[in-house]
Amino acid sequence: MTPGIEPAVLPPAGLPGLDPAWSRLVSTRDADGVLRTWHVLDTGVTGTEDPALTLVCVHGNPTWSYLWRRVLAAAPGDVRVVAVDHLDMGFSERTGTVRRLAQRIDDLARLTDALGITGPVVTVAHDWGGPISLGWALAHRDQLRGVVLLNTAVHQPEGSPAPAAIRLARSSPLLRLNTVSTPTFVRATTALSRPALPRGVVKAFAAPYAGAARREAVGTFVADIPLEPEHPSAGTLDAIAEGVRDLGEVPVLLLWGPGDPVFSDRYLVDLLDRMPHADVHRYEGARHLVSEDAPALVDDLWTWVADLRRGPSALAEAGPAAVSEPEPLCSALERRAATTPDLVAVAEMVDGRWREVTWGTLAGRVDALGSGLRARGVRRGDRVAVLITPGADLIAVIYACWRIGASVVVTDAGLGVRGIHRALRGAGVRHIIGIPKAMALVRVLGLPGRRIATTELAGIARIGAPGHVPAPPAPGDEAVVVFTSGSTGPAKGVVYRHRQVGRTRDLLRAHYAITDADSLVAAFAPWAVLGPALGIASVLPDMDVTSPRTLKAAALADAVATVHGTLLWASPAAFGSVLSSAGDLTDTQRAAFGSLRLVLGAGAPVSAALLHGMARLCPSAQVRTPYGMTEALPVTDVTIDEIVAAGPGDGVLVGRPLPGVEVRISAVDDTGAASGGLSDDSDVLGEIVVRAAHTKDHYDRLWATERASTREPGWHRTGDVGHLDVTGRLWIGGRLAHVVTTSAGPIAPVGVEQRVEGLAGVRSAACVGVGPAGTQQVVVIVVTDRHVEGPADLELLDRVRACARVPVAAVIERRELPVDIRHNSKVDRSALAVWADELLAGRHGSESR
């Protein structure tokens, strides 16, 4: 019956972002009958009615309810938000007792009773507040409407040590020193944030923990983490860890800072294993205090809560009209293996000689590898990263994974080492299969997951029991996660299920009339692996597929000749390289191009000159360029003849939607946001929005990104802008983020750039905006034959203004334009806009003093 040693108090005035009106002191009797006083933040509700919903927010150690200030500030009027300070923490009473997990859960229940929280509740918690909050949630299932967790844990995953920071803090000589005697732990928590927190916020987090006496519980909290099974709180935590497996009916949102040195991604994987239905958003770059590091988090949380209140009907799938499920991805491979086992399925250049793999051999390898991988622990649903250069090995591994229901994680070299590291870590891959060079890197980076080198594959295929291949995966099973380098920000994982990959294959087969008689020359990485799914032979020309410019005309001719190729898929950069080396072709090599019936240029806009060049090189081929993106490929396509017939327009003509694909435009407003409803009106500039059966399933662990891209359920927002013409053809104007918002309306860059690039002496051009949204000025940056840098002379200025068809404030010459490394052809307009903004702002007057 110890009375408190220090009473609860209100926080000092003036803490940034904290409304003093939220603070109140509430007294409850604890399990021992002692009256305890809490400090809580409480928005109450507007009016006298009961709240429609209450958020109960629980902080971790060593923070306090201040952590939730932005959640309170953004609360809608009919939702009550209560954020508590645990006893002995924050500004609540210092009890002089040691309170263990079970007691803290009981304390919280008594507090919510005292606060009259009897209606529906969404629990929100961070750090070690997670187990307390989940303990409360499991005991209040009748009230529980949702669970939100930020960087927390309920279980120490098997086979991995507890976080070093926690073990260190727990070691007894250090425990008191770190947590109680000195403010080390309190300070370290806020010091971890990136970008660094404002001083006022750092001070506010430390405000309740001045002096060792006020920090006593910071130490006991850490001591209460049950790292060993005999710990007094171990039973309680284990019960919670198991209990959450029953929350299948309750919506769960996990908001995660992947840079947390304590609660790393493996705890997220553990939570997902227990609650596989949870929505997840990982804020790349954010650390332990994810709600501080990721300012979007609070909006995302409230969007999720609003969806939850609207109920499942609002979120129901409103996709394209029901389509029958496609055949399994391996079925064409199996059919060809049965009917034409001795024909070539894959050909590739190895050490200067063609290596050919027949359908029979390929199917046998896929079965044996699949079975062997199972023996090595690869399970249905596991994610397997493949770091293998395109070729027969890659194809065999991918189809083997698909055959046994594992999902393949694909990254492209354009991401760089850091990007690949981030992507594989974020995707939670369980296995990594790679070439020896890649595996060395994987070891250095310390990536999680079991490692298999391609040199081991032959052995793995031998250990597999032939004939023991499981039933094919279901259409809803995950097939692939693709990471591609975006123009801005970290790469996003795009998830396809077998259903969507199968539909992509079926769309290509139907639209391009592909039959077994076709053979594919695959010089474009994403599609290089689809040959076996289509049941057609694939040949990979001798080149570095990750670098399109390495494809030379002679190598391409040899590849076409090897399989008597009928289809060629390549990127525009590869077209350029082929055409510039076409002079080296022998007559025999030149004649080989005659077997091609279809040439597709994909990945970036293709200039008319390149298309014409390819049409001359491949006299029997129709030259087409499909338009699409990682999330939906293809969306539209267009022939060279149509481009010529259409003549110049505002942007790049990409043609009509493919059968079954719908394209709409969401108009761009004054601020550059695509706020317009979906429309098929012609000549309206807006974001291109796509609906098709073969679009991505979702973005991986990016709930908020997925929610924004499917704002209209069933539709995918592409981030590209353009317009439809009166005949329903789509013209691309650039990226939504690159639209220039002038006071006369939004301007898409590509059309302006095309017109300026038509001027004599101009090699390339970029159109960017400077100034605030809605009142931006157009600046055209050009590379000319003169190779100079700085404001253009009047002669060039006048010529640009005469052709641009938009008001141009300035024309600046540069020696070159920065480009996106992957496609080698997309201009980095965001970087240019920043550069132009600085240049045209001139000198920072007062700085030079």
Partner 1 sequence: MKVLVTGGRGLLGGAVVAELTRRGHRVTVLQRSPAGHPEPVLEVLGEITDTGTVARAVDGCHAVVHLAAKVSMVGEAADFEHVNVGGTATVLSAARDAGVQRFVQVSSPSVAHAGRPLVGASAEPADPRSARGNYARTKAQAELLALAADTEGFSVMAVRPHLVWGPGDTQLIGRIAERARRGRLVLVDDGAALIDTTYVDNAADAIAQALDHCADGDVHGRPFVVSNGEPRTVVEILTRVALAAGGSPPTRHVPYPLAWAAGAVVERAWERSGRAEEPALTAFIAEQLATAHWFDQRETRRALHWQPAIGLDEGFRRLAAAWRAGG
**What residues make contact with partner 1 under the rule CB under 8 A?**
743, 770-772, 774-777, 790-791, 794, 797, 807, 809-810, 812, 837, 839-846, 848
Buried b (16+ CB within 10 A) or exposed e, 801-838: bebbebebbbbbbbeebebbebbbbbbbbebbbebbee
Among residues 445 and 803, whose Cβ is nearest to partner 1? 803
In 3D space, the residue among 820, 494, 825, 812 whose CA is nearest the CA of residue 652 turns out to be 825
Least separation, in Å, of the C-beta of 797 and partner 1? 7
Whole-angstrom Cα distance, residue 463 to residue 374? Answer: 10
Task: Note every long-range contact of 611-616, with CB atoms under 8 Å and residues 24 or more positions apart, other chains counting.
Answer: 611/575, 611/640, 611/643, 612/640, 613/575, 613/579, 613/582, 614/575, 614/578, 614/579, 615/640
Least separation, in Å, of the C-beta of 775 and partner 1? 4
Among residues 171 and 775, whose Cβ is nearest to partner 1? 775
Least separation, in Å, of the C-beta of 809 and partner 1? 5
Among residues 460 and 781, whose Cβ is nearest to partner 1? 781
In 3D space, the residue among 408, 431, 718, 374 whose CA is nearest the CA of residue 533 turns out to be 408
Backbone angles phi, psi at 366, to 5 degrees: -60, -45
Least separation, in Å, of the C-beta of 802 and partner 1? 11
Whole-angstrom Cα distance, residue 659 to residue 649? Answer: 24
Say if CB 608 and CB 615 are below 8 A apart.
no
Among residues 659 and 790, whose Cβ is nearest to partner 1? 790
> What does the block give as tokens for 6?
């220090």
Least separation, in Å, of the C-beta of 768 and partner 1? 13
Among residues 610 and 778, whose Cβ is nearest to partner 1? 778
Least separation, in Å, of the C-beta of 804 and partner 1? 14
Residue type, 63: T
Among residues 249 and 847, whose Cβ is nearest to partner 1? 847
Least separation, in Å, of the C-beta of 813 and partner 1? 11
- Three-class DSSP category at 197: coil
Among residues 52 and 839, whose Cβ is nearest to partner 1? 839
Least separation, in Å, of the C-beta of 839 and partner 1? 5
Query: At 640, which helix (H) or strand (E)?
Result: helix 640-646
Say if CB 714 and CB 317 are below 8 A apart.
yes
- Count how many Cα atoms sit within 13 Å of the Cα of residue 209 in the half-sphere of its side chain: 32
Least separation, in Å, of the C-beta of 778 and partner 1? 11
Say if CB 373 and CB 400 are below 8 A apart.
yes
Distances in Å between the Cα of 254 and the Cα atoms of 250, 281, 395 are 13, 6, 35
Least separation, in Å, of the C-beta of 831 and partner 1? 17
Among residues 378 and 781, whose Cβ is nearest to partner 1? 781
**Any alpha helices (H) in 224-348, and if so which ranges?**
234-243, 265-274, 290-293, 297-310, 312-315, 331-339
Among residues 331 and 777, whose Cβ is nearest to partner 1? 777
Whole-angstrom Cα distance, residue 747 to residue 683? Answer: 12
Least separation, in Å, of the C-beta of 743 and partner 1? 5
Give the β-pairing of 652-657 and 632-639: antiparallel
Backbone angles phi, psi at 18, to 5 degrees: -100, 120
In 3D space, the residue among 177, 392, 427 whose CA is nearest the CA of residue 282 turns out to be 427
Give the β-pairing of 662-668 and 407-411: unpaired
Among residues 7 and 807, whose Cβ is nearest to partner 1? 807
Among residues 489 and 842, whose Cβ is nearest to partner 1? 842
Among residues 315 and 839, whose Cβ is nearest to partner 1? 839
Residue 735's contacts (CB-CB under 8 Å, 6 or more residues apart) are: 487, 719, 720, 721, 829
Among residues 391 and 769, whose Cβ is nearest to partner 1? 769
Among residues 46 and 775, whose Cβ is nearest to partner 1? 775
Least separation, in Å, of the C-beta of 811 and partner 1? 9
- Tell me the residue ranges of DSSP E strands in 561-701: 567-570, 598-601, 622-629, 632-639, 652-657, 662-668, 674-679, 686-691, 698-699
- Tell me the residue ranges of DSSP E strands in 132-171: 144-150
Least separation, in Å, of the C-beta of 419 and partner 1? 33
Backbone angles phi, psi at 153, to 5 degrees: -155, 155
Bridge partners, 149 (sequence order): 125, 254
> What is the DSSP annotation of 660-674?
T-EEEEEEE-TTS-E
Least separation, in Å, of the C-beta of 808 and partner 1? 10
Please, what sign has the CA dihedral across residues 195, 830, 721, 692?
negative
Least separation, in Å, of the C-beta of 473 and partner 1? 54
Among residues 312 and 772, whose Cβ is nearest to partner 1? 772
**Residue 277: exposure state from Cβ atoms within 10 A (0-12, 13-18, ≥19):** exposed
Whole-angstrom Cα distance, residue 274 to residue 252? Answer: 11
Least separation, in Å, of the C-beta of 772 and partner 1? 4
Among residues 117 and 779, whose Cβ is nearest to partner 1? 779
Query: At 521, which helix (H) or strand (E)?
Result: strand 519-522
Backbone angles phi, psi at 779, to 5 degrees: -120, 130
Least separation, in Å, of the C-beta of 833 and partner 1? 12
Among residues 199 and 849, whose Cβ is nearest to partner 1? 849
Least separation, in Å, of the C-beta of 650 and partner 1? 22
In 3D space, the residue among 511, 488, 708 whose CA is nearest the CA of residue 628 turns out to be 511
Among residues 160 and 775, whose Cβ is nearest to partner 1? 775
